[in-house]
Amino acid sequence: MPTSIGDWARGLSQRVRHRKGEALVAAIAVSLAAYVVIYPFLVTAYPPITDLPFHAAETSILRHYFDPAWHFREQFSLHPFDAPYVSMYVIGVLFALVMPIAAATKAMSIVMLGLMPAGLAVMFHGMKKSPLWGLLGLELVWCSLTHWGFLNFMGAIGLFAMVVGFTLLALDHPTRGRLVGLTVSLLAVFFTHVYRFPFALAAVVGTTLVMYPATRRVRPVLLPLGISFGVFGVWRVLRRATLDSNIGPLEIHWERKYEAASHLFGSFIGPGELVLATQMMWATVALLAVSTFIFVVQGRTRRRGARQWWWGIGVTVIPLCIALVFLGCYLVLPMNIGVWWFVYPREIVAAAFVAVGVFPDMPRQWWLKLPLVAALGFAVGPLALYVANQWHDFDAATADFRAIEPSVPPSPKLMYLVFDHSGSTRTTTPFIHLPAWIQAKKGGWLSWHFVSWDLHPIRYREPSPDVPPPRPTRWEWTPELFDLKRDGPWFDTFLVRMRSAPTQLFSGDPSIQLVDHQGTWWLYRRK
C-alpha cells in the first residue's frame, strides 16, 4: 500500500511538472508571436507599409459611412459581396468603434498577420503534430508582400492553412465543432481574398483524397464544401466585371528562380534585411534536421499500425503537393491579370509558407520543446527587431506630415501631389499614399483613391457631382502631370510633398494660397 501511494504521488508530481512545463513553453511561444507581430507597430505613428493609408481610409469609410459630416455616403456605395475583400475592413471597423482610426488600422493589420502563425498552428494540430510549429509562420510575417500592404493576402494564406487543418481534424474524428470550423474557415478565406478561395476548395478535396487510405472518410467534408461551393457559385453570377480577368497564354519562366529571394525579402535598402533572412532560412533548415533527428531517435516511427503509417505519409505529402502547386503558379502566372498587379510574386510566399508543414512532430517532453521554441525565437526575432528599427526611423521622417495634419480642415476636397520620395529606407516609397491618412482621420475627398480600380467592396457613385473627376492611370505616381486649369478647379485643398516651395504649381490661380509649411510638406487652400 505505501508503495502504491508513493507511485501515485510521484506520478501526480510528474504530471504537475509536465503541465507547468507545457504552460511555460506555451507562454514563451505566445510572447514570441506577440513580439514579432506587434512590436514594430508600437514604434511609429504611421507604419511604412505602402498601401496601409488606403486600408485605413477604407476602414474609416465603413466606420463613418452614415455620418453626414464625413461626406462618405454621398460619394461611395458599398458592395461587400460582389467584391468580397471585406473581412479585414470589418475587423478594422470593430476596432475603430473603440479606438482612433490609426490604432484601429494597426490592430486590424496585427490580426491579419497573426492569422499566419495561428493558421499554421491549426494545420499542425490537424496533422497530429505540435501546434507550437505554428511559430514557423512568423518567418514570413515581414516579407515583401506585407510591406507592400497585401495584408488580406497574408491573412488569407494563414486561413488557407487553417482550412487544411480543419479538414484533417474533420476527417480524423468528425464532430459538429470541427465541421463548423471547416465551414467558417473556408468562408473566411472567401471574404478575405476571393482568389485564394478556389485554392482552399481544391485543398479540401486534395486532402480528403490523399488521406483516404488512413481515414476511409469523405462524407465529413461534403457539407462544408457544398455550402462553400454554393456561396462561390452565387458570387460567380453576381461578381463585378473587373474581377473577371483573362489570364491569357501561360508559359514557364525558369528565370524567376533567381528572383525568388527578392520577392520574399527585399523591402529595405541595403543588405541588412537579406542577411537576416538568409540566417533565418539556415536556422530553419537546422531546426528541421534537429527535430527530425530527435523524432527518429525517440523511436516515434516504431510500433505504428497501417493507419498510422498512411497518416504520417499523407500529412507529409499534403504540404509538399500544395507547395509545388503554388511554385508552379509562381513560374507560369503573369505579373498582371487584368487590373490585378504583382500576381506571380505572391505565389512564392504561399509556397514557402505551406512547405514548412513537412516538419515532424515536436518531442513530447516539454524540456525538449523549450530549446526548439527558443531556437525559433533566435531565428525570427532579429528580423522583427530590424523591421522595428526601420519603422522607428520612418517615424522621424513623417514628423513633418504629422505636424501639418492639424492645418488640414475637416472633410477637405484634397488634391495631393507627392513629388519627393526621399527620407525612407524602403525600396518602394511609403510616401506615395501617405495623404490618405487625412481622409481616414478627417473624411472628405481624395484626388486619387484605391476604389477607382473598381476592385474593392467600396465603389464610387457614378455618375455623380460628389465624386472627384477621374484620374489617368498611374496618376499618383506621376504628379508632374498636374495641370492647374484642368485638375485644380474641383478641389479646395492641396497638399504637396516637395523640397522647395511649389509656388509655380498654383501661380495661375490667386485664390489658392499657402496656409502651412512643415518640412517637405506644403499645404495650400482655396480662399
Do 464 and 389 lie in one domain? The reply is: no
Global confidence as pTM: 0.95
Do 357 and 416 lie in one domain? The reply is: no
Do 234 and 353 lie in one domain? The reply is: yes
Residue 72 lies inside a defined structural domain of this protein: no
* The dihedral sign for the CA sequence 302, 307, 310, 315: negative
- The overall average pLDDT reported for the chain is 94
Helix, coil or strand: residue 516 = strand
Asked if 358 contacts 10 with a C-beta cutoff of 8 angstroms, the reply is no
Q: Which of 361, 393, 425 is the last residue of a domain?
A: 393
Do 363 and 427 lie in one domain? The reply is: no
Q: What is the pLDDT of residues 515-526, one digit of tens each?
A: 999 999 999 999
Do 352 and 481 lie in one domain? The reply is: no
Residue 283 lies inside a defined structural domain of this protein: yes
Residue 73 lies inside a defined structural domain of this protein: no
Check pLDDT > 90 for residue 508.
yes
Contacts of 379 (CB under 8 A, 6+ apart): 139, 279, 280, 283, 284, 287
Mean pLDDT of 170-193: 97
Closest CA to 524 of 499, 71, 497: 497
Do 337 and 234 lie in one domain? The reply is: yes
Contacts of 193 (CB under 8 A, 6+ apart): 85, 152, 153, 155, 156
Residue 48 lies inside a defined structural domain of this protein: no
Q: What is the DSSP string of 427-466?
A: SS-SSTTTTHHHHHHH--EESS-GGGGS-SSEEE-SS-TT
Extract the C-alpha cell encoding 501. Answer: 516651395
Do 295 and 377 lie in one domain? The reply is: yes
Helix, coil or strand: residue 77 = strand
Contacts of 163 (CB under 8 A, 6+ apart): 182, 185, 186, 189, 200, 203, 204
Closest CA to 420 of 483, 495, 342, 493: 495
Do 100 and 228 lie in one domain? The reply is: yes
Q: Which of 374, 393, 412 is the last residue of a domain?
A: 393
Amino acid 165: pLDDT: 98
Amino acid 5: pLDDT: 72
Q: What is the pLDDT of residues 231-253, one digit of tens each?
A: 999 998 888 776 666 777 889 99
Do 443 and 345 lie in one domain? The reply is: no
Q: What is the pLDDT of residues 85-102, one digit of tens each?
A: 999 999 999 999 999 999
Mean pLDDT of 474-493: 95
Extract the C-alpha cell encoding 516. Answer: 502651412
Q: How confident is the model at residue 311 (pLDDT cuts 50, 70, 90)?
A: very high
Mean pLDDT of 215-233: 96
- Structural domain count, the chain: 2
Q: Residue 195 class from Cβ within 10 Å (0-12 exposed, 13-18 middle, 19+ buried)?
A: middle
Check pLDDT > 70 for residue 413.
yes
Do 388 and 443 lie in one domain? The reply is: no
User: How many CB atoms lie under 10 A from the CB of residue 238?
Assistant: 10
Residue 53 lies inside a defined structural domain of this protein: no
Mean pLDDT of 168-194: 97
Do 475 and 331 lie in one domain? The reply is: no
Q: Which of 348, 371, 393 is the last residue of a domain?
A: 393
* Residue ranges making up the domain that contains 498: 402-526
Q: How far apart are CA 210 and CA 205, in angstroms?
A: 9
Report percent pLDDT > 90 for the chain.
Answer: 86
Residue 165 lies inside a defined structural domain of this protein: yes
Residue 62 lies inside a defined structural domain of this protein: no
Q: What is the pLDDT of residues 17-42, one digit of tens each?
A: 778 999 999 999 999 999 999 999 99
Contacts of 487 (CB under 8 A, 6+ apart): 415, 447, 469
Mean pLDDT of 104-120: 98
Amino acid 1: pLDDT: 46
Residue 372 lies inside a defined structural domain of this protein: yes
Do 370 and 425 lie in one domain? The reply is: no
